[in-house]
Structure 1
Amino acid sequence: MKKLFLLLLFFPTVTGFCQENLLDKFSRKVKDRVEQRTDEGMDKAIDKAEQGVKKEANTPKKKSSDQERKAIQSQKPGSTFESYSHYDFIPGENIMYAEDFSQDVVGEFPLKWSTNNQGQTVTIKEQPGQWLRLMQDGHFVSPYIKTLPENFTAEFDAVLHLPENVNNTSYADFVVRLMSVQPGDEKARQFFNNAFDSKADIRFTIQPYTDEHSTINLESTSGGNQGGYFRSENKEQPKFAAYLEKTIHFAIWVQKERFRLWINGEKVYDLPQAVPTGATFNRLEFQTGGSSYDVGYYVSNIRVAQGTPDMRSKLLTEGKLVTTGILFDVNSDHIRPESTGVLQEIARTLKENSSLKVTIVGHTDSDGDDAKNLDLSKRRAAAVKTALSTQFSISEGRMQTDGKGEGQPVADNSTKEGKAKNRRVEFIKQ
């Protein structure tokens, strides 16, 4: 998506001593030339806008051998990754909900979601996969998820498009909310009609700007409409403007009352008592405010998982560590930076146990060609070995690699959650 600009042409006022008819003729020429160039600029702007809309709505979906994300640029075999520095987020080990809107029809609202406004499943130019576009002044609620335990993680990607701020007014808020609403479409409708509120919730609100003045705040409530439980002050996010028009990765980690949030690898919140005591959550909501600007807010690659893997114990005691937390671009061995926390923890275990040797085994889901999946799984295992060696100084002699492709599934490949579980990396003690 590109910003469109109209070229404003100015011509200085003609002054001086001239004959009147010459001045009139000159003025007409200037006026004609201005109108002609303005029309040309408008035509070009409209053409670009139409091309962008057609691209968003009509770009055909390309089926891949792995539906995590399509690589924007091709990656070389065995390529490593650029890590987030000081990123200690580790996703839960048991995936409870996954959504990338790949099974929804482009141009339609996702079948299993609910809203009080309108939204669309779309493709975005130069962004992989399919996305849910969130229209302004709307609530967008996920399907009912099994009641989440006291220890879980939630991740998603977002793209925020903000046009030029010509009126010096605010853009639409972007709100993310974990909440508790009973199962069923009827309960969702009652929620939208203000028949009741969430039993408990925690939400953060981003007020985005195209300069350094973006802010975020967090609040939680307990007992429906009975009042607030926790509220933070507005916190400036000067880096947020640099994330606009690009994929922004959000990672949430809840451990009882503790709430942590990372945005593109940077820890924004670590609050020990922000989550209401005893609160349970079962839905995810995105909410948008209103503004005079035609903003574009999009979300995808949602993943909710429970539990914190004890990587050290599994590898040393059980002899096998399985993780879905090492993520790759689709059809690529390029490791995504969100994998930093998992790789860092594995490297720490290997460093603390210098005699430990492992075999790294890659696995894929069942989409695509069997032979290509087998090759992909082997290349991904090799990329993990390279990352551990180059980024974390683990000797290559302590690691062997292998790949099984789609041949050893651990879950049903007919569901998104099952596919996410099958896209995994195993570390087997030698």
Structure 2
Amino acid sequence: MARTVTERTLAGRFSRARSPEARIAITRQIEIRQKSGPIHLELEEDAYAGIACWLGSEHWITVVKAAFTARYHEIRPALVASTGGGVALRTVIAVATEMASAADFRTGRESRLAVSTIATRTGLGERTVQRARSTLLLLGVATEVLAGRLRTKLERLDSHGVKDKSRGWASVWALHPPKPVDNSPRVRPGHTEMAPHPHGGIFWSLPSRKRVIFTGKAVENAAASRRQAETKKSPRRRRPPIDRKGQLLAAQWLRDRRSPAWARPMSVDQWANVLASAAAHGFTGGDLNALLDEEARRLGRGLTPDHPIRFMQWLLNKTDLDFPPHVLDAIAHAQETAARAAEEERTKAMVEEGQRKRAQAIADLDGPGRATARAIAQRCALKRTFRTS
């Protein structure tokens, strides 16, 4: 329902209000009117049912950072599938800060900002703002209560009547802590089905003292003196160090638009050690895509490997890494350039030789032998004319 409320009407209601609660509610209406314009779109009474309130904008921004750090690698495949790309933490924080500034400072609700408005304030693109909003939605720290839409013809006429130049309704968001996980299918017979309280409070992503583990030295000091000697533990298996050149090659390859979609769900660190050997031989992202295109042409179909990392290892193992495709292309280009230059030199030499022969032929026309032949021909002609006459 769209309502038109003037500041004069709200001021009258504020002066007639008796209780502090009524005055606070009217003050909130004045704030909403200043943010959303003369026409305000009211929601249904149960629009925010089941959505928790936040503990303040600064606390919510901290929750967003922790949730992004902990769960971005889980939601990235779904984000790429829905929006076509990923997003950085600083971009999400910038968009979240603008959305929090427009929300109710007590509850975190009523955040009504258009995508274009956020893009103007942050200096980001509209598609980037949409990806950041989708990230907040997938992280479970924001809920789109009402999707934005264009206004109808009658709504635009009403907006023009109250000097509101807006063309559509901005979506309404509620900013809240992460939703707890419902493990009700694990309930035992006879127990009440309910969502368990998250470990360490409702803000599961924040650090908790309960998760602090004693160090090994403290455990040894606290152990009983009559405990038997501990057996020697096997050395802990460490992850191999990540190759730096492989990281750079993986980042360049994943940024390339020609790169296949099945390679993007894996992170740069996952691809780093796989591409380390290719990076050591000077391969580029374009070279990897060239190898994939050649393999697809050989098979006569598109490549859809079930295990992308194993497939790339197999493809690089059977490839001669000493000659990357771009090096072969450079050699072929150099040979073609040299052949073209040699052909031009040969053509130039032939032209010069023809010009020299032509000049020599023209010079021979005025030589002494040609002059003597012309004199003899003239004498013969005169004798013939004398005889006939």
TM band (smaller chain): under 0.3
Looking at CA atoms only, which structure, 1 or 2, has the larger radius of gyration?
2
**Structure 2 length-normalised TM:** 0.23
**Structure 1 length-normalised TM:** 0.21
Q: Which has the higher helix share?
A: 2
